[in-house]
Chains A and B, each alone.
Chain A
Amino acid sequence: DVKVTQSSRYLVKRTGEKVFLECVQDMDHENMFWYRQDPGLGLRLIYFSYDVKMKEKGDIPEGYSVSREKKERFSLILESASTNQTSMYLCASSTAVYEQYFGPGTRLTVT
C-alpha cells in the first residue's frame, strides 16, 4: 500500500515564525503536491514537484516555498507565517498522471 506521511497532525505557530511541513512517500512516486484545504473552497494547489529539485507553482504559491532534495520527501515552508495561512495542509504523491495518494493532513493554526 502507498503510504504518505506528514510530520505533524496538528501544529500551532505564532505570526512571523518560519514553519516547515514535511511529507514523505514510500512508493517511489515522481510527483508530489502540497494543497491547502479550507471550508467551501475545496483543495487548492500550492506547489507541486515532478522530480527531485524541480518545482512548479500552483494556484496559490504566495507566502510559501518548497524543497525537494530527495525523491521521497517534499517540504512546504512558510517563511513568515500569517494568520491567513491557518488551514489544513494536505500532501499527495502520484506516479506520472495517475491518481494521487494523500497524507493524513496537518492542521496548522497561526496565532
Chain B
Amino acid sequence: ELKVEQNPLFLSMQEGKNYTIYCNYSTTSDRLYWYRQDPGKSLESLFVLLSNGAVKQEGRLMASLDTKARLSTLHITAAVHDLSATYFCAPQQGFKTIFGAGTRPFVKA
C-alpha cells in the first residue's frame, strides 16, 4: 500500500532564506506531483516528476525526485511572502494518488 510522509508539517520561513520540504513514500510509484494550496482556495498543480533524477524548476521553487530512495524534495529559494501556501506532495500509483499531510509555511518579515 502506498503511503506518504511529508515533513515538516509547518515551516516558519524568514524572507530571503532557503528551505526544503521532504516527501518520503513507501512503495514504487509511477509519478509524483507537487501541489500548492493558497489559503481558502483549492489545489493547483506545480510539478509532475516522472523518473529518477527528474528536476523541475519554476521561479523560486525546485522539485526533484529520487526513486531509489523514494524521496522527493521541494526546495524554496529566497523565500518571499507570496509563498505562504500549503504544499502537498502526491505520489501516484495507477489510478490512485496519495496526498501527504501538507506543509504549511508562514513567512516572517
B-binding residues in A (CB < 8 A): 31, 35, 40-45, 48, 50, 56, 58, 90, 92, 97-105
CB-CB under 8 A from B100, the residues of chain A are: 42
Which residues of the partner chain A approach B44 to less than 8 Å between Cβ atoms?
102
Residues of chain A within 8 A (CB-CB) of B94 are: 97
Q: Is the interface of A mostly helix, strand, loop or mixed?
A: strand
Docked Cα-Cα span, A53 to B95, in Å, equals 16
Chain A to chain B contacts (Cβ below 8 Å), 13 pairs: A35-B99, A42-B100, A42-B101, A43-B43, A48-B96, A58-B96, A90-B42, A90-B43, A98-B48, A99-B45, A100-B97, A103-B42, A105-B42
Number of interface residues of B (CB under 8 A): 22
Check B42–A42 contact: CB distance below 8 A: no
Q: Enumerate chain A residues within 8 angstroms of B45, measured Cβ to Cβ.
A: 99-101
Q: Are A40 and B101 in touch, CB under 8 angstroms?
A: yes
Chain A hits for B70, CB < 8 A: none
- Residue positions of B touching A, CB distance < 8 A: 6, 9, 30-31, 33, 41-45, 48, 88, 92, 94-102
**Nearest-CB residue, chain B, relative to A98:** B48
Partner of B99, one of A43, A50, A97: A43
Would A97 and B31 be within 8 Å (CB), given that A40-B9, A40-B101, A90-B42 are in contact? Answer: yes
The answer for the CA separation of A56 and B97 in the assembled complex, in Å, is 13
Q: When chains A and B are docked, how far (Å) is the Cα of A104 from the Cα of B41? A: 6
Contact among B6, B42, B96, B101 for A102, CB-based, below 8 A: B42
In the assembled complex, the Cα of A41 lies from the Cα of B99 at a distance in Å of 9
Q: Which of B6, B31, B96 has the most CB of A within 10 A?
A: B96
Are the C-beta atoms of B48 and A97 separated by less than 8 Å? no
Do the beta carbons of B95 and A97 come within 8 Å of each other? yes
